[in-house]
């Protein structure tokens, strides 16, 4: 039996962040990645702002998305430009991006170049 210990969620919108919370609640290490914002994200932490804001939204959610607020610490945030290399650490990669075939095809092509052999990849 294969054990899942870590997951990467691609897309930090409403669905992606809720999936990340569910996985964190199950005691998995979670990586949450989203696109680099179109404006105001020239360098550093600002480039991962969307994923960071998604985790903050989980902390404030009512009803709570996280069993305990500390589970938010299990979610590592990044972006789909600078942090695709993190995918090689994931046992399971879940896609939760916009329902646009072109976006999904481009994302899966990028994922294929960064995931480890045998990693489970799923789409919503």
Question: pLDDT digit of tens for each residue in the chain (124 aa)?
Answer: 789 999 999 999 999 999 999 999 999 999 999 999 987 657 678 999 999 999 999 999 999 999 999 999 999 999 999 999 999 999 999 999 999 999 999 999 999 999 999 999 999 7
Predicted pLDDT of residue 44 = 75
Distance of CA 99 to the CA centre of its chain: 16
Backbone angles phi, psi at 67, to 5 degrees: -55, -45
Q: b/e string for 106-120 if b means 16 or more Cβ within 10 A? A: ebeeebeebbeeebe
Question: How big is the chain by its Cα radius of gyration, in Å?
Answer: 14
Identify the pLDDT of residue 105.
96
For the entire predicted model, the pTM comes to 0.94
Tell me how crowded residue 38 is: count the other CB atoms within 10 A of its CB. Answer: 6
Residue 40 pLDDT: 67
């Amino acid at each position: 039996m294969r054990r899942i210990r870590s997951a990467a969620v691609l897309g930090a919108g409403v669905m992606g962040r809720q999936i990340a919370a569910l996985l964190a609640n199950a005691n998995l290490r979670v990586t949450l990645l989203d696109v680099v914002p179109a404006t105001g994200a020239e360098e550093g932490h600002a480039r991962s702002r969307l994923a960071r804001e998604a985790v903050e939204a989980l902390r404030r959610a009512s009803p709570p998305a996280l069993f305990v607020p500390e589970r938010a610490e299990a979610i590592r945030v990044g972006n789909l430009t600078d942090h695709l290399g993190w995918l090689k650490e994931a046992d399971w990669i879940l896609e939760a991006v916009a329902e646009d075939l072109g976006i999904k095809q481009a994302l899966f092509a990028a994922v294929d170049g960064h995931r480890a052999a045998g990693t489970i990849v799923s789409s919503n």
